Structure 1
Amino acid sequence: MYLHSRRILLQKGISALLLMLFSTRSIAQNFRDTDFWETLKTLQCDLYVVEHSSPTYEQLNALAYLHNVLQQHRVTQTHKRFIRNGVQWLNEAAAAHYKKPYTQLTPQQRQMVLRAIVKETWGKQWVETILTYIYEAMLCDPVYGGNGNESGWRWLHHVPGKPRPSKALV
């Protein structure tokens, strides 16, 4: 009797788990299909506010800079995973609020999602990390992939130190 009831419990538990997995499969599939880099680009555009004299988002090359950073062996796997997981969490938050990935939301909806996630510890830390990379892209030597045409330096009237690197040194 005990073995029989245990077997039934396991069968029902596995059935419930499979049902749950298959019922959420379409949402989970959307997260995988949502392009990681497109989500980061949209997020960076939402976070970087262009003033009348500041460089444009395109001039910063912030996405290319972040791509270069994530390719570096000196960046820990834990940090890379945090960036990647943050994109997934952002899309999950967007889906929870609006049933769409972040990139498919209106600018107002995206701002609401950002306001919601920064109330969470992970969200605040993740957004701060992405903002840090945007500012690094604005201020780095162009050899590292950001600060296209030295636009960030020109905007801030910054004179770089000498000698400047001729190639990326990381």
Structure 2
Amino acid sequence: MTTLFSGKSFFDESYQTPEFIKNKNLTRRRLLKSAAGVGAASVFPAFSFNADVQKALSSLLNTDPWLTLNATLEHLLPESPTTNSNNTTAQDISAKQINATAYLYQIMTVQPTEQAEKDFILKGVGWLNGYAQSEKKQNFVELGFTEKEQLLKGISQSRAGQNWLNTLLGYIFEAMLTPAAYGGNPKGIGWQWLEHQGGFPLPEKGQRYFELPPRAKPQGHK
């Protein structure tokens, strides 16, 4: 049984890297490889959250923890002077464009993610805002780019902070590389940026890896 760290900040010296990070389930990581293959770059499944889910996520983005998570993801892969939500260049892409927050929302609410990992992600929001209050007297989302950068660099000096940021960065890369049916990479925007052709056929809702029935093991195998 995994025991969640009960410390009060990223800098608690009693923190130990959780088992879910040490022994990360590779099932979802293998999904990234499914993007490789032969297929037409112009063929992408038309997937979007239904209206109820879109409304729920939009509402959640106004309050924590999703307010802070969205701000953190967008800072880790920000829009640049050469790209914005309406104009992607060959040089840059942002967390906003790849729907990183929507992808993380699906990870937290739909995909089979360990509860310890979800708890750690959410606990980190409180720790980050606590650190922001102690250093800047404001919550993380209220700060400017430079101050946010200082805080994230600060927590990265701790093992807990490094684990938390690496977890979010991992999901940013997943949002960029997985098929759109998983919530990120709308219309294959991440693949286009990387000049990559997604495999074909691509999964749609109802055909995602966690929705498929378990494969029967061959006789004689345990």
TM-score with structure 1 setting the length: 0.75
1:40 aligns with 2:78: no
- Kindly name which structure, 1 or 2, has the bigger radius of gyration based on alpha carbons: 1
Looking at structure 2, the residues matched to 111 and 146 of structure 1 have their Cα atoms a distance apart, in angstroms, of: 24
- The partner residue of 2:120 within 82, 101, 106 is 82
| Structure 1 residue aligned with 2:155 | 117
Residue 131 of structure 1: CA displacement? 0.6
Structure 2: any 5+ residue segments left out of the alignment? Answer: 1-61, 83-89, 211-222
Residue 114 of structure 1: CA displacement? 0.6
| Structure 1 residue aligned with 2:100 | 62
**Bigger relative contact order, structure 1 or 2 (CA pairs below 8 A, ≥6 apart):** 2
Residue 70 of structure 1: CA displacement? 0.4
| Percentage of identical aligned residues | 36
What is the root-mean-square deviation of aligned Cα atoms in Å?
1.7
Contact 2:74 2:94 in 1 (8 A): no
C-alpha distance after superposition, 1:63-118 (max 9, x if no partner): 00000000136211100000000111111111110111111111111111111100
Q: Where in structure 2 are the equivalents of 1:113-152 lying within 5 Å?
A: 113-152=151-190
- AA at the equivalent of 2:67: E
Contact 1:39 1:87 in 2 (8 A): yes
1:161 aligns with 2:190: no
Structure 1: any 5+ residue segments left out of the alignment? Answer: 1-32
Contact 1:34 1:101 in 2 (8 A): no
Residue 169 of structure 1: CA displacement? 3.3
| Structure 2 residue aligned with 1:22 | none
Count residues in correspondence: 138
Give every structure 1 segment of 4 or more consecutive aligned residues whose post-TM-superposition deviation is greater than 3 Å. Answer: 49-52
Residue 50 of structure 1: CA displacement? 4.5
C-alpha distance after superposition, 1:121-143 (max 9, x if no partner): 00001001101101100111001
Looking at structure 2, the residues matched to 41 and 73 of structure 1 have their Cα atoms a distance apart, in angstroms, of: 19
TM-score with structure 2 setting the length: 0.58
Contact 2:95 2:172 in 1 (8 A): no
Residue 148 of structure 1: CA displacement? 1.2
